[in-house]
Amino acid sequence: MVRILSASVFLGVVLIGVYAGIYGVYALVILLGGLALWEFLGLSEGMGSRAPAWLLFPLGAFFAFSGTVLKQVDVALVLSLALVGGLAAFLVVPGRRQGLSRWAMGLAGALYIGMPFNYYLLLYTSQPHGMVWTLFTILAVIANDAAALLIGSRVGRHPFFASISPHKTVEGAIAGVLASVIAMLIGISGILGLSPVHAIVIGVLVGVSALVGDLVESQMKRIAEVKDSSHLIPGHGGILDRLDSILFPPILVYFYVTMFHLIH
Model pLDDT, residue 157 = 84
- Identify the bridge partners of residue 254 per DSSP, sorted by sequence position: none
pLDDT at site 162: 85
pLDDT score recorded for residue 264: 87
Q: Output the average pLDDT for the chain.
A: 93
Res. 234 pLDDT band, cuts 50 70 90: confident
94 pLDDT higher than 80: no
Distance CA 56, CA 113 (A): 10
What's the pLDDT band for 5 if we cut at 50, 70, 90? confident
Mean pLDDT on 220-231: 93
Q: Could you report the per-residue pLDDT of 157-191, keeping only the tens digit for each?
A: 898 888 898 888 999 999 999 999 999 999 999 99
Top-ranked range on mean pLDDT: pick from 71-80, 85-94, 141-150: 71-80
- DSSP annotation of 233: B
- pLDDT single digits (tens) 23-74: 999 999 999 999 999 999 999 999 999 999 999 999 999 999 999 999 999 9
Length of the chain counted residue by residue: 264
Q: What is the pTM of this model?
A: 0.94
Residue 196: what pLDDT? 97
User: What is the C-alpha to C-alpha distance for residues 186 and 245, in angstroms, rounded to an integer?
Assistant: 20
Alpha-carbon distances of 70 from 9, 59, 64, 110, 189, rounded to whole Å: 30, 12, 9, 15, 33
pLDDT at 7: 73
What distance in Å separates the CA atoms of residue 247 and residue 112, rounded to the nearest whole number?
8
pLDDT of 96 > 70? The answer is no
Query: What's the CA gap between 55 and 68, in Å, rounded?
Result: 21
